[in-house]
Amino acid sequence: MPREYDRRNLDFILKEVFNYGALCQYPRYADYAPDMFDMVLDSAEQIAERHLRPHFVDADRKQAELVNGTVQVHHSVEAYVKEMGDSGMIGATFSYEKGGQQLPSIVGGAHEFIRGAANNSIVMFTGLSNGAAHLIASFGSEELKQAFVPNMLAGKWTGTMCLTEPQAGSSLNDVSTTAKDLGNGTYSIKGQKVFISGGDNHFSENIIHLVLARLEGAPKGTKGISLFVVPKRRQENGQWVSNEVTSMGLYHKMGQKATPALHLSFGDKGDSIGYLVGEPNKGLMYMFQMMNEARLGVGMGGAYIASAAYHFSKQYASERSQGRKLTNKDPETPPTLIQNHPDVQRMLYYQKSIMEGAMGLLFQCFLWEDLSKCLTGDEQKEAQMLLDLMTPVAKTYPAEQGTLAVNQGLQVLGGYGYTEDFPLEQMARDVRIMSIYEGTTGIHGLTLLGRGIPSEQGKAVQALVKLIQADIAQGMTHETTKPYAEMLANELASLNKVTMHKLSKASQPDVFLADSTLYMELFGLVVVAWQWLKQGNVAVRNLESSEKSFYQDKIHTMKFFYHYEVPKALGLTKRLLDDEILTIFE
Amino acid sequence: MPREYDRRNLDFILKEVFNYGALCQYPRYADYAPDMFDMVLDSAEQIAERHLRPHFVDADRKQAELVNGTVQVHHSVEAYVKEMGDSGMIGATFSYEKGGQQLPSIVGGAHEFIRGAANNSIVMFTGLSNGAAHLIASFGSEELKQAFVPNMLAGKWTGTMCLTEPQAGSSLNDVSTTAKDLGNGTYSIKGQKVFISGGDNHFSENIIHLVLARLEGAPKGTKGISLFVVPKRRQENGQWVSNEVTSMGLYHKMGQKATPALHLSFGDKGDSIGYLVGEPNKGLMYMFQMMNEARLGVGMGGAYIASAAYHFSKQYASERSQGRKLTNKDPETPPTLIQNHPDVQRMLYYQKSIMEGAMGLLFQCFLWEDLSKCLTGDEQKEAQMLLDLMTPVAKTYPAEQGTLAVNQGLQVLGGYGYTEDFPLEQMARDVRIMSIYEGTTGIHGLTLLGRGIPSEQGKAVQALVKLIQADIAQGMTHETTKPYAEMLANELASLNKVTMHKLSKASQPDVFLADSTLYMELFGLVVVAWQWLKQGNVAVRNLESSEKSFYQDKIHTMKFFYHYEVPKALGLTKRLLDDEILTIFE
């Protein structure tokens, strides 16, 4: 299989667009020098090479299965998790006091991108351990931290997040798992959770579930939800005993088959002990930390699978001969490479423009996350606001558009793309989950338009617009980027008009939010157009460099995005300004 | 599983929109009365009930496998093919002289729709037998007809079409399978064919391959291709012997797993005998008959899988409670059905508007096919021209948009949609092939813009525009449809502008055709908008009937298509009028 991502492009985004080395000037990251970040990414390539790429196909064909109450996962997972633990990468982005290496999130994200492009399904195990351990490290008592975090970061124990219940789905309001105070600082947990990724495996010594549940007498709705640590095994009189977390069933999924999704039962016979994290009834607030981290992770999933699909289909198009150029009608001449057909080039640039634009958006978010930890006062607040506003977009755009991009990659291969002989059909199955994980696209549309945009009188959007306008101003200074800076300015004005129109309906929540998924689509398109202008602004400054062809292709891809993708804003805008209501019934 | 299609809607399209009963007034169909068509469709429901629906899941999980040189297909296929043969439905649309029942194609298409919605993969076996037998019946000698057609129509033997070769893919120019004249009226066939659907099975007594090959000394390119019947077994001295058609391998596909796709080798040791169909070097012309029939069949595949996905997800949304209405913030109230969320309604109407619009386009084509056999002179010519122009569109729109629609159906189910516990994930895998079968979307875009539109100085398009304008004129006469008739008039004018712009580039074939896939997308959108106006025009005349709610929902869906789908024409038009070339190099 050809390399699934382009290190040169990753370096371009990290170094030239976002200048992540500048983070080292803040005290938080002062122990690092920029070239150490390179070494971190090199290590990701080694892990991908040794533990991930070789098992991409096999771990799909031999999917995880529930056997005698225990889930047997693909043999490669154990070695991968161990390697990640040994190399200190599971919690590398945690602060020193939380047991991490205080690595910037943008570097951690790049490490994940490289691993995920090589094997999107297996990497979920360590992503979940990271999120679960971070919750305990952030909000748990000293005792909980010591009891759980070190073994999780070492890769000995894995972690999960247990939110969804059979009857509630996306509606966390309706979580009904109960926690009864046993009076000794522990709680008896009882309830069922579904779709728990990594919910069981045969190899780790323990599995640490982070579970949302209700204390007795807690208020209904989200204000009565608390967070508990519920391990698969607990210590009792020096012995490890079962904590009555039962695997009721394993979902057979369309893709991502290396990561089992479990239906778990807690304390069916009353013998599942949980430990409260932080204060009672604040569980959802805590869990939002893990959810938001996971959301960027899911957006990354859309982007790195799209990266793998792009690079594979591009390679295929450069090797496969078929047909003749449109300008050549002579059947006596030999067939041409399919990369010489304009429609194939369209499918390749479509993928590249979606994927590299999505990468821009994602690494922008990771940078904001890092800056929110380095800056102070209003600057800190702004970075956090921008991250909060953009997280649902950075989850949704790569998921939705990445799914379409991967399917165009499959299309490049024609009939072969539909067969198991090539990895595209698996990538298409794998990527499809990204629009569902961690809140469906519909949920994130509601979050963006219903909460993100109106919050604090639109302060976050205003901050975003200021940033975009600065890049437009820069784009106006070069003849190559000027037309695109002008287009972006128009799109921004048009988006603003749509936003104002929608906000004018805010007194009728159903009318206001009815098309929020389409609002999300438009918003994502405009911010990715912004990211492309950012990348174009950097590229035009380097056209005289020795890597001229790399920068030329960047500019070409930016142009493609503006000429082929940005026009889609017209239809979305028209619909979003149209007041004909067709989806609300009494 | 809920019913996968709505008979009331099918009847609406067949009877009220296209008045298929009127075909009985032509001599060709004079033996039929309209109520006999109902009985034919009833029989399709019985076949679906007995032989198709029960095996939809199982035939996917236990996919066809190549065992000791023979492909073992799912046990249900044999009984299905037998039933279709026994009921005379395999070649029912053939004329009497070709051994059929001279059933109108529009009725045959509806029969197929019902079967395909119940089990899209198994029905391919009889679809292929139909197409292969029709080729022999249309162009073969009397001897060939008698030798092959009756057993194929009886379901004793099955058929295939063998076009694609490993080195040539979509480029039939480069077919290299050879046929050596043995002097006794037979030919020695040698070569390899790939992706042969139904290329082998364990149960039928014989398999009749229709194979494209080159006679010795034939010209290069498509003008040197001849068509041969190559059976799996041939008779020799009263014995059935192997005709050296070898199953080299079976492709494991993403979906449609009941129908095996084979890599076949013909005459590796020189012992594969073929029989020439019609005249030498005219094979591709003959094969186009089967390909065009198959293309409508593939378009149907997009539509009937989308139908199954729509009806399943609609049913789910009417049973599954989750969350509260956007206008209700009280967590004490019970959860509401997800069909009460506007975004879920949007996903349902999206599917319905795509699928029922695609059905309109497909049955319009079947009607043209029938009329081309009934009418005479210019009217006959026009029906044929319209069918030829629209066949690639009726293949592509349902395939591309149907795939998106099915994926929205999956999305309605959230996490459950991604699991094998519900049929949506299988439908999403199955439908994905439709954009590849029988010419990829890219190939059909080239056909439409490069051949269909310019042919005979645009006569076919002019005829189409006349039909559309008649429906616009009718739409203008009712206040409900008037705004949509006006929108369609605008879209038609805009499409005309795009077409003229593209034709002005015809002297540079690569520039002219570079975005032909997007031209196809726009063209499909406009003609489906036309079909929706047609359906709306009928519905508004029936609003006072006892079935008011059916007609109201039709009008609602028409409105949805115009308010949500038609605006997408804006972005496509902008791109297609934009002369920035980004997909042609050197």
**Tens of pLDDT along B385-397?**
999 999 999 999 9
Q: Which of A371, A545, A538, A516 is nearest to A454 (CA)?
A: A516
Subunit contact B345:A167, Cβ cutoff 8 A: no
Q: Which of A233, A242, A229 is nearest to A274 (CA)?
A: A229
Closest residue in A to B168 (Cα–Cα):
A322
Which residue is listed with tokens 């503006």?
A: A562
Subunit contact B171:A559, Cβ cutoff 8 A: no
Structure tokens at A88: 């200190």
Q: What is the DSSP letter of B478?
A: S
Ranges of chain B with pLDDT below 70:
1-2
Subunit contact A564:B572, Cβ cutoff 8 A: no
Mapping DSSP onto H, E and C, the string for B332-401 reads CCCCCEHHHCHHHHHHHHHHHHHHHHHHHHHHHHHHHHHHHHHCCHHHHHHHHHHHHHHHHHHHHHHHHH
Closest CB to B567 among A222, A410, A574: A574
The 10 Å Cβ neighbour count of residue A473 is 12
CB-CB neighbors (< 8 A) of A442 in chain B: 341, 343-344, 347, 411
Q: Check if B567 contacts A (Cβ < 8 Å).
A: yes
- A249 and A262 Cβ atoms separated by less than 8 Å: yes
Q: Check if B441 contacts A (Cβ < 8 Å).
A: yes
| ipTM of the complex in this document | 0.97
Residues 484-513 of B with CB under 8 A from A: 508-510, 512-513
Subunit contact A344:B442, Cβ cutoff 8 A: yes
d(CA B499, CA B519): 8
The reported pLDDT for the residue numbered A349 is 98
Closest residue in B to A433 (Cα–Cα):
B418
Residues 299-338 of A with CB under 8 A from B: 320-327, 331-332, 335
Q: Which of A534, A584, A523 is nearest to A558 (CA)?
A: A534
d(CA B148, CA B228): 13
User: What's the one-letter identity of residue B558?
Assistant: M
The three-class DSSP label of residue A429 is: helix
d(CA A207, CA A196): 12
> How many residue pairs from chains A and B have C-beta atoms closer than 8 A?
252
User: What's the one-letter identity of residue B119?
Assistant: N
- A77 and A71 Cβ atoms separated by less than 8 Å: no
Closest CB to B563 among A445, A570, A575: A575
Residues 389-408 of B with CB under 8 A from A: 403, 407
Closest CB to B173 among A169, A222, A331: A331
Structure tokens at B178: 């050879």
Q: Check if B442 contacts A (Cβ < 8 Å).
A: yes
End-to-end CA distance of chain B: 54
- List of residues 6+ apart from B22 with CB closer than 8 A: none
Helix (H) or strand (E) holding A420: none
Closest CB to B419 among A253, A510, A572: A253
Strands (E), A130-205: 157-162, 178-181, 187-197
The reported pLDDT for the residue numbered B2 is 64
Geometric angle at alpha carbon A380, from A91 and A494, rounded to 5°: 105
User: What's the one-letter identity of residue B226?
Assistant: S
The reported pLDDT for the residue numbered B167 is 85
The three-class DSSP label of residue A160 is: strand
Strands A187-197 and A178-181 turn out to be antiparallel
> To probe the interface with B, which of A326, A447, A511, A556 has the most B CB atoms within 10 Å?
A326
Q: Check if A585 contacts B (Cβ < 8 Å).
A: yes
User: What's the one-letter identity of residue B412?
Assistant: V
Closest residue in B to A255 (Cα–Cα):
B418
d(CA B563, CA B370): 33
The reported pLDDT for the residue numbered A1 is 56
CB-CB neighbors (< 8 A) of A584 in chain B: 342, 345
Closest CB to A582 among B170, B222, B559: B559
Subunit contact A343:B517, Cβ cutoff 8 A: yes
Q: Check if A570 contacts B (Cβ < 8 Å).
A: yes
> To probe the interface with A, which of B316, B345, B564 has the most A CB atoms within 10 Å?
B564
Which residue is listed with tokens 């020098």?
A: A33
Closest CB to B415 among A195, A417, A564: A195
The 10 Å Cβ neighbour count of residue A586 is 3
CB-CB neighbors (< 8 A) of A251 in chain B: 415, 418-421
Closest CB to B559 among A344, A445, A580: A580
Handedness of CA B16, B22, B28, B33 (dihedral sign): positive
Q: What is the DSSP letter of A131?
A: H
Ranges of chain A with pLDDT below 70:
1-2
CB-CB neighbors (< 8 A) of A435 in chain B: 411
Measure Cα distances from A362 to A296, A301, A466, A516, B349 in Å. Answer: 7, 11, 19, 21, 32
Closest CB to B583 among A251, A345, A512: A345
Which residue is listed with tokens 């429906």?
A: B471
Subunit contact B324:A428, Cβ cutoff 8 A: no
pTM: 0.97
The reported pLDDT for the residue numbered A2 is 64
Q: Check if A420 contacts B (Cβ < 8 Å).
A: yes
- A119 and A258 Cβ atoms separated by less than 8 Å: yes
Closest CB to B331 among A221, A326, A583: A221
Helix (H) or strand (E) holding B328: none
How many Å lie between the alpha carbon of A415 and the closest alpha carbon of chain B? 6
Subunit contact A170:B572, Cβ cutoff 8 A: no
Residues 446-485 of A with CB under 8 A from B: 446
CB-CB neighbors (< 8 A) of A334 in chain B: none
Closest CB to B323 among A171, A342, A517: A171
Phi-psi map region of A457: left, alpha, beta (phi>0 left; psi -120 to 50 alpha):
left
* Mean pLDDT value across chain B: 96
The 10 Å Cβ neighbour count of residue A470 is 11
Handedness of CA A360, A362, A365, A371 (dihedral sign): negative
CB-CB neighbors (< 8 A) of A341 in chain B: 442
- A512 and A505 Cβ atoms separated by less than 8 Å: yes
User: What's the one-letter identity of residue B495?
Assistant: L
Q: Check if A362 contacts B (Cβ < 8 Å).
A: no
Subunit contact B168:A435, Cβ cutoff 8 A: no
